[in-house]
Copies of this chain bind each other. A is one copy, B any other.
């Protein structure tokens, strides 16, 4: 593995869209007792349910701590690779590399990771194991790695259409917890040069009460070049309404890198989801304090889906909009099977959902999938 100090655009590497062909997908076997209920027992069932679907059409690599290897191996199909790797938590989207391609080869970008805000408003401390994963995953895959550790970014805070346009949120990228010494213009330039994009569409805020400081991947996602889904509620009394309306306005007045207007599809949100007292009981306290309190609103959204080679896997919350979300996405992804994940609530309790726990590896020319 070469560590590359130059920026990816120097050799025309760019980030392909998630709906482009994959070699595979990386996940991390959950273990953190203050993130996941009942010693991560329920989350593991949900992860396994998801992994079985993804691994139908692409290679899946699951990183497990030394002490969890046997459990992951037992829970997962033979076709899935389990590899030992230490982690602080299990959010592959945010700690695995962002992969870029030049059309024939892939490389990883190793961003700085500080647990969504570092000492300012990060969610746990320390985060050194997570921060080392991107580089180690490049090494594991025998791929070269761009060293961008000085720039703090999580994969969940960016979405690309693969044709030069990037979606992100100001709440996250311009917040004080990531790169407080960089101007918006400097951050734009960094993103353009690292991801091979020409146009950045900045939404203001992400999903209400999303502890990632408003990651884009929970509120808005490209479904094809020029088309996006937006998490939506018609309930004007919900604080989410104003946020989504603001996003819609920005999206509808935006033009992408190819000069296209963005066609926006509203993806209804479930009714607000709150954690129960029983669920909170299942979470160990952290630093002597609970990570969640009963009744706390969770950042539930159907936008947090994962697009594999042949499937789209969508969160489900036991809500009347569950089916609707599957229907809408089925129309938008006509060549893929759209499946709802029954264990989504057990992932949501950890603070994210399907997209947050996955990171796609684009196909490279020599790869056999």
Q: Which residues of A contact B (CB under 8 A)?
A: 1-3, 66, 69-70, 73, 78, 81-86, 129, 132, 136, 139-140, 142, 366, 368
Contacts and interface: CB of A to CB of B under 8 A. Distances in A.
A311 to B, nearest CB: 22
B81 A83 contact: no
B368 A139 contact: no
Nearest to A86: B66
A247 to B, nearest CB: 40
Given A83-B139, A84-B86, 15 more contacts: A1-B82, A2-B78, A66-B86, A66-B129, A69-B132, A69-B136, A73-B139, A81-B140, A82-B136, A82-B139, A83-B83, A83-B84, A83-B140, A84-B85, A140-B140
20 contacts: A1-B78, A1-B81, A1-B82, A2-B78, A3-B78, A66-B129, A69-B132, A70-B132, A73-B139, A81-B139, A81-B140, A83-B83, A83-B84, A83-B136, A83-B140, A84-B85, A84-B86, A84-B136, A140-B140, A366-B368
Nearest to A80: B1
B142 A81 contact: yes
Q: Which of A66, A70, A82 gathers the greatest number of chain B CB atoms within 10 Å?
A: A66
A36 to B, nearest CB: 21
